[in-house]
Amino acid sequence: PLVSLRTVLDHAAEHHYGVPAFNVNNLEQIHAILQAADATQSPVILQASSGARKYAGEMFVKHLIEAAVASYPKLPVVMHQDHGTSLAVCMSAVNLGFSSVMMDGSLKEDGKTPADYHYNVTVTREVVQLAHQKGVSVEGELGCLGSLETGMGEEEDGVGANRKLSHEEMLTDPEQARQFVEATGVDALAIAIGTSHGAYKFTRPPTGEVLAIERIKAIHEAIPHTHLVMHGSSSVPQELLSEVREFGGDIKPTWGVPVAEIQRAIKYGVRKINIDTDLRLAMTGAIRKHFITNPADFDPRAYLKPAIAAMRAVCEARYQEFGAAGMA
């Protein structure tokens, strides 16, 4: 059935596991995730960004996810808006039938410029008041998810404005998190603890700690009833990069968040783990390989099938690794 994010994450907290939240844009990605969840009996969080809603068309996103719910009636499925940039975006998701929305008030409506704390509280509180009336969960965000490379030496990738901030300043402050939760009533909170979005997270192989684990512990202690969310959680597996490169892709050397680090984060309170990049890499590698090895094929089903299989394998692995398997 379609369930709220609160329902799924309350169960995860009670049983000490994490739930991967996978980004979706099309039919094939939804099939890959549901096949993996069905095979492992895992709870499902399907999240659509504003870009996904624009790409697919919002009626398609809604009805594709509803088709997944109807096709797998026993699995709990959350339909979540990823990175809502305004009250209007979040409320349009609620009106479409989403069971959960993220109000990312850490950024202004352009989705780029850092916003101040007061704006974040005000807009997020408004979303919570309206969404909760309809039984819809709300995820907020506090802190600056950037090019932080905790324990990785100097920054080399430098993503814009974040460069000017020190590592400490970029991490979510536990006391501010407590105030934010009290003022807004969010069900879940995305925190800045050392991750960043996209494929280019770390410029060399992570040795030792990548995440600010002590900070996760402190935030979890400050807001024990609010579920912690980790964005930018792709592991960027080297074997997926190799396949993309082997079949003509051009991807610079890069590393992601090791699965073992995510497992430690789950141990200390992280419940929702956002993953998009790994899925993109898996599908792209499979499609590139198919085109190169079957140059005469031109039926889209022929190359989308291995793409689904490759993405499904990543999803199954994450369900197992995060302890979500068997929890549906």
Could you say whether residue 233 binds ligand G3H (CB under 6 A)? no
Residue 137, strand partner residues: 100
Closest CB to ligand G3H among residues 42, 274: 274
Active site residue 82: yes
Q: Compute the residue count for the chain.
A: 328
Total of residues contacting ligand 13P (CB under 6 A): 13
Check residue 231 for interaction with Zn ion (CB under 5 A).
Answer: yes
146: number of Cβ within 10 Å: 24
Regarding 106 and contact with Na ion (CB under 5 A), the answer is yes
Does residue 261 bind ligand 13P (CB under 6 A)? Answer: no
Residue 232 interacts with ligand 13P (CB under 6 A)? yes
Of the candidate spans 86-94, 117-125, 212-220, 231-239, the one that interacts with ligand 13P by CB under 6 A turns out to be 231-239
Nearer to Na ion by Cβ, of 112 and 245: the residue is: 112
Q: Which is nearer to ligand G3H, 83 or 272 (CB)?
A: 83
Burial class of 164 by CB neighbour count within 10 A (0 to 12, 13 to 18, 19+): exposed
Return the residue of 6, 11, 83, 312 that touches ligand G3H, per CB under 6 A.
83
DSSP state of 92: H
| List 7, 23, 86, 99, residue binding ligand G3H (CB under 6 A) | 23
Structural contact between residues 104 and 141, judged by C-beta atoms closer than 8 angstroms: yes
Provide the token pair at 206: 């992570």
- Decide: residue 110, CB within 10 A, 0-12 exposed, 13-18 middle, 19+ buried: exposed
Applying CB under 6 A, the span of 27-35, 47-55, 138-146, 162-170 interacting with ligand G3H comes to 47-55
- Strand ranges (E), the chain: 19-23, 44-48, 77-84, 100-103, 137-142, 188-191, 227-230, 270-275
226 burial (CB, 10 Å; 0-12 / 13-18 / 19+) is buried
The neighbouring-strand residues paired with 230 are 273
Which one is catalytic: 10, 82, 110, 297? 82
Question: Hey, which residues between 266 and 295 contact Zn ion (CB under 5 A)?
Answer: 274
Q: How is 189-229 classified by DSSP, letter by letter? A: EEE-SS--SSS-SBSS---S--S-HHHHHHHHHHSTTSEEE
The residue whose Cβ lies closest to Zn ion is 231
Task: Indicate whether 197 belongs to the interface with ligand G3H (CB under 6 A).
Answer: yes
Q: Mind telling me the catalytic residues?
A: 82
- Which residues form the interface with Zn ion (CB under 5 A)? 231, 274
- Which residues form the interface with ligand 13P (CB under 6 A)? 23, 82-83, 197-198, 231-234, 274-277
- Which residues form the interface with Na ion (CB under 5 A)? 106, 141, 145
